[in-house]
Amino acid sequence: MIEPFYPAAFLIGLTGGVHCFGMCGGIVGALTLGLPAAQAHPWWRRLPYLLAYNGGRLVSYAAAGALAGGVGAWAAHLLSVRNAQLGLQIIAGLFMVLLGFYLAGWWAALARLERAGGVLWRRIEPLGRRWLPVRTPLQAFGIGLVWGWLPCGLVYSALIWAIGAGGAGKGALWMLSFGLGTLPALLALGTAAAALAGFVRRPPVRQLAGLLVVAFGIYEIGLALSMR
């Protein structure tokens, strides 16, 4: 199977921060504003809640990665191992290219994945209401567990790679690395770091991030084709 390159997963999450600002900004804002005044101000009092939200989200990412990695490893045993390896590597590379275009704002084809994921989200989202209103970090963690299943083209693209990671454990580590890469953007949102938010939203920053991911995808496709 594909040997996961975990720093690449972190980079994908980090460079995808521009998408996180748009996709999750409203959620972070609503959760933060919903805290009691004593916990909401100043920002360092919000930090335990923000860490709990994101901790739950990362647990869900790791669980999804374990599921994807396990399914991919099982499917590979039904096929020629070599053909499965090369096929998954090419598919993963193609999704990296699509993801790069998505991050740079050049082509939003992956938005269709988000709409498709809405079917599952409609079933999961009501579970999060049981944790509202948030008054403790434990409740925030529960909200984060649900939040991790929010339909997101960026997350789905990372999961495609996790399918070829080579097993449940590697798939979980891949998605955990990806999730850690998204932390700076979402913590910045929660602590109102406007300067960082403005920097990440700049078109040149978005385009550079997209190009880096596209280059990684092309490299993986070329590597797979050279092994045929």
- Does some domain include residue 170? yes
Structural domain that includes position 150: 6-33+45-226
User: For residue 80, what are the CA distances in angstroms to 86, 87, 139?
Assistant: 10, 10, 46
- pLDDT at residue 18, as a whole number: 65
DSSP 150: S
Q: Is residue 3 pLDDT above 70, yes or no?
A: no
- Does some domain include residue 121? yes
- How many domains, in total, are found in the chain? 1
- pLDDT at residue 2, as a whole number: 46
**33 burial level (CB within 10 Å; 0-12, 13-18, 19+):** exposed
pLDDT class for 111, splitting at 50, 70, 90?
Answer: low
pLDDT class for 67, splitting at 50, 70, 90?
Answer: very high
Q: What is the pLDDT of residues 204-217, one digit of tens each?
A: 777 777 787 788 77
Distance of CA 107 to the CA centre of its chain: 18
Higher pLDDT residue, 118 or 40? 118
What six digits make up the tokens of 136?
């403790």
- Does some domain include residue 39? no
Distance of CA 205 to the CA centre of its chain: 19
Q: Which residue has the tokens 């999060």?
A: 128
The secondary element (H helix, E strand) that includes residue 72 is: helix 43-78
- pLDDT at residue 1, as a whole number: 45
Q: What is the pLDDT of residues 24-33, one digit of tens each?
A: 665 666 666 6
Q: How many CA atoms lie within 13 A of 94 on its CB side?
A: 8
Those residues whose C-beta lies under 8 Å from the C-beta of residue 198, and which sit 6 or more positions away, are: none
- Does some domain include residue 38? no
DSSP 129: G
Residue 148 three-state SS: coil
What predicted TM-score, i.e. pTM, was given to this entire model? 0.77
Q: Is residue 141 pLDDT above 60, yes or no?
A: yes
- pLDDT at residue 55, as a whole number: 93
Average pLDDT, the chain: 76
Q: What is the mean pLDDT of residues 103-112?
A: 72
- Does some domain include residue 1? no
Q: What is the pLDDT of residues 168-204, one digit of tens each?
A: 999 999 999 999 998 887 777 666 544 555 565 677 7
